[in-house]
């Protein structure tokens, strides 16, 4: 058993942990990062964001190739699902190597193992080979992430029942699939499998898809999923899951029964707070294991912070990184750098993509803010016509009197990239945040960025 002392201990090396560790280290603090994996990067790099987005890219390229005129692949040339998922391996390796150099260059010690609090200033780290480290620190930042939620009455050991982590280990392509849960993860995976031609049932426990998004974007997503052949069932809840030798039967409380080759459970995530000893310190958790924090990301123990997926919404890699920097700034400097955690864009990698920043029409109407709308349909843009990716639109919400940007919403190819132009203008102070920027700026032609000028002019035509 060894014992060492640090200024700050960060638990978890995903985006939140990395952001926190780098900020503390660059401010001259001695930092140790504890992670249960042998390699840094967290679930984001190894089981969630990077593998699924690399897989999505591989699927898109494969589907595009099948539509190239004159292309005829033999059955032997068709990749298995395992072949497609393995394309992520090189990306994961490069990401891991790069992130490891960040810790080495900034003299941050990385310890492998699971951390458990012995008291408010001490953690015990159990290493895989049985050794135990006892580490003490003046402050802690918990960024241990989350894992797929497993209800106790669903048998996840059945070979045809998967979650969003284990689905990456599936080898053969199913003919049909049930996706239970139509949140971000369910919609992303559902659209990927539908691109591959898998017969898909998407089961939504609510009355509409992704209700936190702008209604027009939600309607567009639902339309295009159905247009792809996806069957969406709203307001349904499972009663039980019956695993069979040749498939899975999902019994719903409405009395319906649905059978498919496999079931993908995508109904929420659980914070990785179990076994960490937080209850003994009086740190409250919610029913899904998420840690409750204040506006500074402090827990009920002021020198223990928590960031990222383990605190719940929005559960985005991008948000986690900035939350880590935010918490570390408060820890080191005692100030709240609120710009880091305000107006964080959403990026949803369905097919087509969705991205948004700022407020929705529903929110602006409820707040009584006089706004107007500008649209640009991708089918009218030369660049989209050239690439053939004409599905989608850009939507700008702006104050009809001051022309201040209030929200930007995008649905279509590369939406998660396009959104950042609007985000950059929205973040400006005073009169610099203005719809007129897009009217008075020359955009390269043909580009998708030109959608901002089209949408701005479209919106201005409604102002009188």
Q: Which residues are annotated as a binding site?
A: 53, 181-188, 268, 309
The beta-strand segments (E) located in 172-291 are: 176-180, 199-203, 231-233, 238-244, 247-252, 257-260, 262-265, 269-271
**What Å distances lie between residue 87 and 14, 38, 63, 76, 264, CA to CA?**
21, 21, 15, 18, 21
Pairwise CA distance, residues 173 & 168, whole Å: 12
> Between the CA atoms of 206, 321, 128 and 299, what dihedral angle is there, to the nearest 10 degrees?
-80
8 A C-beta contact, residue 263 and residue 248:
yes
Name the pairing type of β-strands 257-260 and 31-35.
Answer: unpaired
Token pair 């020198």: residue: 303
> Between the CA atoms of 92, 94, 95 and 96, what dihedral angle is there, to the nearest 10 degrees?
80
Which DSSP helix (H) or strand (E) runs through 147? strand 146-148
CA-angle at 349, arms to 322 and 409, nearest 5°: 75
Pairwise CA distance, residues 23 & 217, whole Å: 36
Pairwise CA distance, residues 289 & 283, whole Å: 11
Long-range contacts for 378-382 (Cβ within 8 Å, ≥24 apart)? Answer: 378/412, 378/413, 378/448, 378/451, 380/454, 381/446, 381/448, 381/450, 381/451, 381/454, 382/445, 382/446, 382/450
Residues ≥6 apart with Cβ < 8 Å to 24: 7, 8, 10, 31, 141, 328, 331, 332
**DSSP 3-state percent helix, strand, coil across the chain (nearest 5):** 35, 25, 40
Read off φ and ψ for residue 297, nearest 5 degrees: 65, 30
| DSSP secondary structure letter of residue 344 | P
Name the pairing type of β-strands 176-180 and 199-203.
Answer: parallel
8 A C-beta contact, residue 368 and residue 338:
no
**What Å distances lie between residue 222 and 58, 60, 233, 340, 373, CA to CA?**
24, 20, 11, 32, 21
């Amino acid at each position: 058993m060894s014992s060492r002392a640090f200024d700050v201990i960060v638990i978890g090396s995903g985006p939140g942990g990395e952001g926190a560790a780098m900020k503390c280290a660059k401010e001259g603090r001695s930092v140790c990062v504890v992670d249960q994996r042998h390699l840094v990067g967290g679930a984001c790099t190894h089981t969630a964001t990077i593998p699924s987005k690399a897989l999505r890219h591989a699927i898109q390229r494969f589907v595009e190739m099948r539509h190239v005129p004159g292309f005829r692949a033999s059955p032997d040339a068709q990749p298995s699902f395992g072949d497609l998922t393995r394309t992520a391996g090189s990306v994961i390796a490069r990401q891991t190597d790069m992130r490891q150099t960040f810790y080495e260059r900034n003299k941050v010690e990385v310890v492998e193992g699971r951390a458990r609090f012995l008291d408010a200033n001490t953690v015990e780290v159990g290493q895989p080979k049985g050794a135990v480290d006892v580490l003490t620190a003046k402050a802690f930042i918990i960024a241990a992430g989350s894992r797929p939620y497993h209800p106790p009455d669903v048998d996840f050991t059945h070979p045809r029942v998967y979650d969003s982590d284990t689905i990456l280990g599936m080898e053969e392509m199913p003919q049909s699939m049930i996706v239970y849960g139509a949140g971000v993860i369910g919609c992303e995976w559902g659209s990927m499998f539908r691109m591959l031609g898998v017969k898909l049932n998407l089961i939504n426990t609510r009355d509409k898809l992704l209700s936190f998004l702008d209604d027009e974007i939600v309607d567009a997503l639902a339309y295009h999923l159905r247009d792809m052949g996806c069957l969406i069932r709203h307001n349904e809840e499972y009663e039980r899951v019956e695993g069979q030798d040749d498939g899975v039967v999902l019994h719903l409380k409405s009395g319906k029964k649905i059978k498919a080759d496999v079931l993908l459970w995508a109904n929420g995530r659980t914070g990785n707070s179990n076994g960490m000893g937080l209850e003994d310190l009086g740190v409250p958790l919610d029913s899904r294991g998420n840690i409750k924090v204040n506006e500074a990301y402090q827990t009920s123990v002021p020198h223990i912070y928590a960031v990222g997926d383990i605190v719940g919404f929005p559960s985005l890699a991008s948000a986690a990184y900035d939350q880590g920097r935010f918490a570390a700034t408060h820890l080191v400097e005692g100030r709240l750098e609120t710009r880091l955690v305000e107006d964080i864009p959403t990026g949803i990698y369905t097919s087509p993509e969705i991205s948004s920043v700022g407020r929705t029409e529903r929110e602006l109407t409820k707040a009584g803010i006089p706004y107007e709308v500008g649209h640009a349909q991708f089918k009218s843009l030369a660049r989209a016509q050239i690439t053939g990716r004409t599905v989608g639109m850009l939507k700008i919400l702006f104050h009809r009197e001051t022309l201040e940007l209030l929200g930007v919403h995008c649905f279509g190819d590369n939406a998660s990239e396009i959104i950042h132009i609007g985000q950059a203008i929205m973040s400006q102070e005073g009169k610099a945040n203005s719809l007129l920027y897009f009217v008075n700026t020359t955009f390269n032609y043909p580009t998708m960025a030109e959608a901002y000028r089209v949408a701005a002019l479209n919106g201005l035509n409604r102002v009188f």
